[in-house]
Each structure stands twice: as C-alpha cells, then as structure tokens.
Amino acid sequence: MNKTSCDSSTWSGRFSEPVDKLVQNFTASVNFDYRLASFDIEASLAHARMLCAQDIISAHDLEDIERGMNEISQEISEGRFEWKIALEDVHLNIERRLTELVGDAGKRLHTGRSRNDQVATDIRLYLRDATDQISILLTRLQEALLEKAQNHTHTIMPGFTHLQVAQPVSFAHHLMAYFEMLNRDDERLTECRKRINRLPLGAAALAGSGYPINREMVAQSLGFEGLCSNSLDAVSDRDFAIEFTAAAALIMMHLSRLSEEIILWMNPQFGFIDLSDRFCTGSSIMPQKKNPDVPELVRGKSGRVYGHLMSLLTLMKSQPLAYNKDNQEDKEPLFDTVDTLVATLTLYSSLIQGIEVKPQRMHQALKQGFATATDLADYLVIKGIPFRDAHESVARAVREAERLDCDLADLDIHILKTFHESIEPDVYQVLTPEGSIATRTLPGGTAPETVKNAIKIAKEHLLKRQGK
C-alpha cells in the first residue's frame, strides 16, 4: 500500500465525538484489506449494474459509478490512490473516493447491501482467484516431478522405514509418491472452490434486503455457481476460508516432508543427490558449507500455515450469529497463507528440476543396508519354505554378512547354503536391487515398467485436468 493518512472526519452523524485515534488505528483494516480493492470494485460494479437493471438507480447513476470506478482502478494501479485510516477499510475508502469523483451516484451504490455481505463477497472472489492460481502452480510442480521421475525408473535407491534401509525402490517411484499427494491436494482445492464460489451479496447486514434486488443476476455476472442460501449464514460463514487453509496446510505438510528428504539426501552421509548451487547458500564462517536453505525454509514455513489454520478456527469458534468485527481478523492469516503457498510452489518446481541424482551413492547405501534381505526370504518361500522359517534363515545370513562387512550378494554360494540348503546359484538374481524391483509389478509397485505406466497415466491425468 502506498499512501495512508489519518486526516478524515468522523464517519457518522450518529456519533457526538470523533473516534479516538487509538481506536481508529486499532479497528482499521485498510492497511491489509486494501489488497481486496480490485475484487471490491468488481463486486460493486456487478451490484450497481443489477441496481440499474432493477430500476433502483438510474442509467445515468450507473454511468457515473462505472466512470468513477474506472478512475479509482487507475489511481490504485498507478499508486496515486490515497488510502485513509479514518475511512477504516478498503470498502469505505473506495466508496468515499467514488463519491468525491461522481457525487450522488457514489452515495447510491450502497443501496441494498452492507459491508458485511460486501466483505464476504470480496474474500470469496479473492480466494477463488488464489485457488485457481495455486492449482496451476500445483500442476507445474507435478509436471516437474514427472519430468524428473521419467529419467529415473531404473535408478535404484533404498526405500526406508523407520529411516532404516528397508527395500529397494526406484527414485522415480519415490518421486511419484509425492505426485500422488499433490493430486489429492488438487482434488481438495477443487472441492473447496465449489464452496468458495457462492454469492453472499443480497444478505445485506444479516437479514436480507427489502429492495427488489436480483441476486441471481449478480451471481451470474461475478461467475458464482450459486447463492448463499441463508442471509445470516452468508455474512458470517468463513468455513470456506478455513477449508482452504486446511488444504494449504496439507500442501505445506507434503512439501515439508519432501524438503526434509531433500535435506537428508544431500547430506554427504547420504549423498543421494546434489542441489543446483542456485538453490543453496554458503556459510559466512565455514568455507566448505553448501546449505539447503530453500527446503529448510519450506519446512519452516509449513509452521506458519498450520498456525493460520488454528487462528481461523479459533477466530470462529465462539462467534454468535451473524457478522462480528472479529471476522476482520480473517484476512491477514488468509493472505499470508496464499502468499506463502504461492512463493513456495513457484520456487519448488525449479528446485525439483535442479536435483542432480547420484545413483552410485544410492547403490552403495542399498548394499550397506541389506535391502534385498526380504527378496531372499521370498525366494525361499517360493521353494516351499514357510515364511517364518525363511525369515529366520535370512536373519542369520544378514548377521554373517554384517560380520564379514559385505553385502548378501557378496556371500559365496557355499556360505549361503549353510543358512538353508534350498539356496541355489540362481539366488543371485534376486539379491541384486535390479532383480528385486523387477518383481514388484503389481499396480502401485516399483518395477520399472509399472512406474513407467504410472507416469504415463499421471501425464494423461494432468492433461485432462488442464482440459487439453
């Protein structure tokens, strides 16, 4: 926001003394809700056109309002608009300026509406826009994951449970797990958008309007899918904002998990990946350092979005119907949630593109962790050994390999046979990571062909989502 000033008079004849300056500053929201300006103007124009169509204001008034709003839009975009704290919020600032510019027509604009249904409409328009932008950014990030995954269906890394080496998986398969999470995130946003996209205008202060206004016409011109059905609910409902923030918190949680893995993977002890220098920073004291600041910050920023979700839930929990000034506190958490998400998602696609994979280090980690031990047990089961017995034989083999400081695949066939006489030389096929992943061909498995198919389906899904 550029200019704000405090030099305006009391705003209502109802009051016998001016509002205390401290109260004025405390209650004003224009310092942050100025961001709703373009949506406020859009909604006001839709309202004015409806008022004219219903013969509540004249065509001449409408022309004046349109001309005035045009001028105001320009003043705002060129940074010439003077925001006034004394005019409390974005709505009153714009309305007052309109009246300065066009006179009585400006004063007629507020017929049949209240700031209560006005602000609810503005936030919905803002959030619908933000949701669409975030959906696009999610798609970009999913494309980046697919692009990276495509080249790594044969790159084998250890899959972990309890952060201990568990079984081999392909790097592509691992990335595709995040693709799935983001897919659910997008579904959530799409669902949430439906509930955002309802029109509160017409509820007026809380009881509805006595003027012959046409709510459907306003809804249609603003692209809303329907009306808020109850005037009390229309002005006081913020479920859609909470739902959005919950969806945002889940997105941040997913990105925080991926960030945590990226941080671990680029630690030299793992050494599974390297990140482009453009995503890292150095240390002012330790010359050897290359720090993963971006994923660390993403992990950290998830906290503020969770916080905003709690703020909004707490904001609403004790409010009696209908509108209460408390609701003004919905904006900052919401704006910051959107800003954090947009900034994070925008950066994250290039972060994924900038990952350089180190297959040898992954391979080394697989060997050290006996990642194919389960495959050896499965091999014995196929030969008719009960799984529990196979499990025990393999456990003893692992202990021996550990003692000799080698991988299971490095054990001589004679040694392996001492753990179970059914082990034959063909065992070495299952003891390799390649052999292990090749068997996981069921839907959802890590076999290269299966993952390639998953990538193909995922690509088609993204094209469909974008209507291509």
231 binds ligand ARG (CB under 6 A): no
C-alpha closest to that of 455 among 154, 254, 166, 136: 154
Which residue lies nearer to ligand ARG by CB, 116 or 450? 116
Listed as own residue / partner, the contacts of 381-384 with beta carbons closer than 8 Å and 24 or more positions apart are 383/422, 384/422
C-alpha closest to that of 351 among 137, 152, 163, 188: 137
116 binds ligand ARG (CB under 6 A): yes
Sign for the CA dihedral angle at 208, 211, 215, 216 comes to positive
89 binds ligand ARG (CB under 6 A): yes
Which residue lies nearer to ligand ARG by CB, 34 or 323? 323
From 5, 58, 276, 283, active-site residue: 283
Which residue lies nearer to ligand ARG by CB, 170 or 327? 327
Selected from 52, 87, 119, 365, the binder of ligand ARG by CB under 6 A is 119
C-alpha closest to that of 40 among 100, 123, 131, 98: 123
60 is catalytic: no
Selected from 24, 245, 327, 372, the binder of ligand ARG by CB under 6 A is 327
Stretch that binds ligand ARG, among 7-15, 76-84, 313-321, 324-332 (CB under 6 A): 324-332
- Show Cβ contacts of residue 387 under 8 Å, excluding neighbours closer than 6 positions: 377, 381
Which residue lies nearer to ligand ARG by CB, 102 or 204? 204
Selected from 24, 29, 121, 197, the binder of ligand ARG by CB under 6 A is 29
CB of 212 to ligand ARG, least distance (A): 24
Interaction pattern, residues 32-51, with ligand ARG; x per rule: CB under 6 A: -x------------------
3-state per-residue secondary structure call for 93-115: HHHHHHHHHHCHHHHHCCCCCCH
CB of 78 to ligand ARG, least distance (A): 24
The string of DSSP codes covering 39-84 is HHHHHHHHHHHHHHHTTSS-HHHHHHHHHHHHHHHHHHHTT--EEE
CB of 122 to ligand ARG, least distance (A): 9
Selected from 44, 121, 328, 344, the binder of ligand ARG by CB under 6 A is 328
14 binds ligand ARG (CB under 6 A): no
CA distance 34 to 48: 21
Stretch that binds ligand ARG, among 111-119, 186-194, 378-386, 428-436 (CB under 6 A): 111-119
- Classify residue 248 as exposed, middle or buried by CB count within 10 Å of its CB (0-12, 13-18, 19+): buried
Beta strands in 194-343 (DSSP E): 198-199, 226-227, 273-275
Site residues (CB under 6 A) for ligand ARG, limited to 182-201: none
CB of 77 to ligand ARG, least distance (A): 22
The single-letter code of the amino acid at 441 is: T
CA atoms within 13 A on the CB side of 302: 18
Stretch that binds ligand ARG, among 139-147, 167-175, 319-327, 426-434 (CB under 6 A): 319-327
CB of 56 to ligand ARG, least distance (A): 22
170 binds ligand ARG (CB under 6 A): no
From 9, 12, 162, 414, active-site residue: 162
DSSP state for residue 276 in the 8-state scheme = -
Greatest CA span in the chain, whole angstroms?
A: 101
CB of 94 to ligand ARG, least distance (A): 12
CB of 72 within 8 A of CB of 97?
Answer: yes
Strand (E) or helix (H) holding 155: none
CB of 338 to ligand ARG, least distance (A): 16
The single-letter code of the amino acid at 411 is: L
Q: Write out the residues near ligand ARG by the rule CB under 6 A.
A: 29, 33, 89, 115-116, 119, 323, 325, 327-328
Residues with catalytic annotation?
162, 283
